[in-house]
A and B are shown apart, each in its own frame.
Chain A
Amino acid sequence: MAQSTRIGGVPRVDRAEVLALPVWRIRLNLMWRGLRANAALFAENPIGLVGLGIILFFALMALAHPILMSTVWDKGTYDPVLGIDLAIPLHPASPSATHLLGTDPLGRDILSQLMWSARSEFALGIVAALVTVVIATTVGAVSAYYGGLLDTVFMRLADLIIMTPFVTILIVLSSLFDVKLIELALVVGIVSGFGAAAIIIKSQAMTIKVRTYIEAARVAGGSNAHIIMRHIVPNLLPLSFLYMMFTVTSAIFSEAVLSFFGLLNIRMSWGLMIHTTEYTGYLLDIGKWWLIFPASLSITLLCAAFYLVGRALDEIVNPRLRRR
């Protein structure tokens, strides 16, 4: 039987052999095994796969843009911000062979804008998600481990953040300050890091804190920092990863809303494309669908994709939700 000799893709070795391996190899093997098991669980969930497919599609779009710009597309015509097609007398022009998704009222290629913006959406999402994970995991682990005043302060802060309407605050914030993409990513990351994610991760850390291996580590003389970093945080990472997905959704959504209202200092984005449509007066002109549908659908799809992947991961992290 192939199953008994290979567990999770790693060849079975005896105990002596395992002990002879360097520690990092054992860790790597274990990680690989866990990943494979989780990937198998993930693959069972069609909804999660749909989400992953959409994300890959947009990632390919983002990657293809610079390649297209340097090969097929002429810089003057297809630049997402400054380009204009002078061969067409009237803009917005409907989709044609030269402009697959038509042009916007200022004569710029919609497809190029769409692909160029995908890259900044990903950058925004990744930065926001990383900030969230770092903050939420640290806050969660520290406040669960130490408790007391620190815990109270962090948890009250999280309560406050949960209660405040976030987009509303961002709107006011962007009227007071000059908000660019990177600032937005940081604000979204920090706010979601100190918000709901911190509470969920803290409650997970509370259950880890009372496990026997924490006790063992303490008896063995591990310092607080060592226990938090080596024993608590690694066990929190799956849950943090889940919250990364939800943060990406909220980052993309807030960016789209803010740039739709024209409050963001940004060169081009999906939200800004709809903003352009709005201030040139084509907003309710559904006959010119390419002015509003591609950008809106991209926002919706990418938000939904990250949310779906988050839900699928949720079923892996919380076995309670799995279908039995």
Chain B
Amino acid sequence: MRGYILRRVGQNILTYFFFLTMVYVMIDAQPGDYSNIYLGDPRLTPDQREILRARLGLDKPVTERYVLWLKSFAQGDFGVSFSNYPRQVIDVIIERAPRTLVLFLTATVVAFYMGFLSGKVLAWRRGGFTEYATTIGGVSLYTVFTPWFGLMMIWFFAYTLGWFPIGKFIDPIVWQDSPLSAVELFQRMLVTGMMATLALFAWLLVVQRLETSRRRVASWAGVAVVLAGILAYWLPSGVGKYAADILWHLILPITTLALISFAGTMLLTRNSMLETLREDYIMAARAKGLTEKSIRDKHAARNAMLPVVTSFVFSLAFALDGGVITETIFSWPGMGLTLLRAAVSEDIPMAIGALVFTGALALTAHLVADILYAFLDPRIRYA
């Protein structure tokens, strides 16, 4: 197992290196260079332009510039963002990356869970109107024009019903006399969330060792304890109001992104379940007289999960793309929106920084999913 993980990490670092090279080729292949921005300025003499080029390192040969670029990348130096002048690109990334991470991770987990559950039920109740309705619905969710879907969600839930805010990260009126900045508070929320997840995961491992009959009660008790712990920390802290505001702004984007990525998982789970249901061990389970629910959940669904996880790993990139679009529609100030704004305003250092970050996120998510998959299916571990 350790060998497998080490090898995968090594492969990923190599892949990331190729990705960086690709990005560099992209930057370098663009027509002209930074010094061209000032070409229209009559005060810029050719000498000054040469000095500018030399200071930006543009007079060096390509290979040298490439090495230079990699070096400054390793030091976390992406230059200064034009549209957030004079902030460093890396500063902007550190500020906004957690928001994207939360959106992406929550939506992906929710999408996978919901997709798996509904796909399972769908395969079990095969045929007739339900099947066509859900297949059509699933396909339309899968291929819907994402910006439009986001807009419709905003229009319906935020504009017409008024349940949720119309976008953005915080409500400035609520935050007028807040003691903390939104960034600091969000970091605290993030730490809480991570600790809660870890606690739940640890408890889940403990629960696995209990008797079957006690598991359900024990797991719900664990969830209740963790929730009580979160409330006990946030309620007396005095900033709970602001945290709730951020959460309230989070719900709609997460729902939208989850709905977009959920359909793929649902359709695939259904197909995979249908194949599994034909296996002999399902027949054996039926012959033993097990309940329908037990056959479905314990015998069929667990085996049907493997191909779903495989394709889920590949759909991570799709979810990241969806994230960029969702963030833009909801004006959620994460990396996706930053990337798009930078691209539209030709803030090249920021756009490249955001792209490099997105690539890192994609590769890391891929790596984590791969390692989880190896835990799930011992057969492929040393492949």
Contact = CB atoms under 8 A, between A and B. Distances in A.
B is bound to A: yes
Contacts of B320: 165, 168
Interface stretch (B142-150, B186-194, B292-300): B142-150
A258 B132 CA distance: 32
Contacts, number: 122
Given A47-B132, A173-B26, A177-B31, A165 B321 contact: yes
B355 A307 contact: no
A213 interface: no
Interface stretch (A30-38, A78-86, A112-120, A298-306): A298-306
B328 A261 contact: yes
Contacts of B132: 46-47
Contact of B362 (A46, A163, A172, A320): A163
A251 to B, nearest CB: 13
Main secondary structure on chain B at its contact with chain A? Answer: helix
Given A47-B135, A172-B352, A253 B340 contact: no
B148 A292 contact: yes
Given A171-B339, A308-B139, A164 B145 contact: no
Contacts of A303: 143-145
B355 to A, nearest CB: 5
Contact of B342 (A162, A167, A169, A175): A175
A301 to B, nearest CB: 9
Contact of B143 (A175, A253, A292): A253
B342 A304 contact: no
A20 interface: no
Contact of B317 (A163, A174, A263): A163
B154 interface: yes
Interface string A281-298: 001101000001000100
A163 B320 CA distance: 10
Interface in A248-298: 249, 253, 256-257, 260-263, 274, 283-284, 286, 292, 296
A274 B147 contact: yes
Interface string B146-174: 11100100110001000000000000000
Interface in B176-229: none
Contacts of A307: 139, 142-143
Contacts of B140: 300, 304
A166 interface: yes
- Which of B27, B29, B31, B139: most chain A Cβ within 10 A? B139
A198 to B, nearest CB: 13
B15 A163 contact: yes
A28 interface: no
B121 interface: no
List the 7 closest A-B pairs by CB distance, nearest first.
A175-B343, A296-B148, A165-B320, A167-B321, A303-B143, A299-B145, A176-B30
20 contacts: A156-B15, A160-B19, A163-B316, A164-B359, A165-B317, A167-B321, A167-B324, A171-B343, A172-B343, A172-B352, A175-B348, A175-B351, A176-B29, A257-B325, A283-B151, A296-B148, A299-B145, A300-B144, A304-B139, A311-B139
Interface of B: 15, 18-19, 26-27, 29-31, 132, 135-136, 139-140, 142-148, 151, 154-155, 159, 271, 275, 314, 316-318, 320-321, 324-325, 328, 336, 339-340, 342-344, 346, 348, 351-352, 354-355, 358-359, 362-363, 366
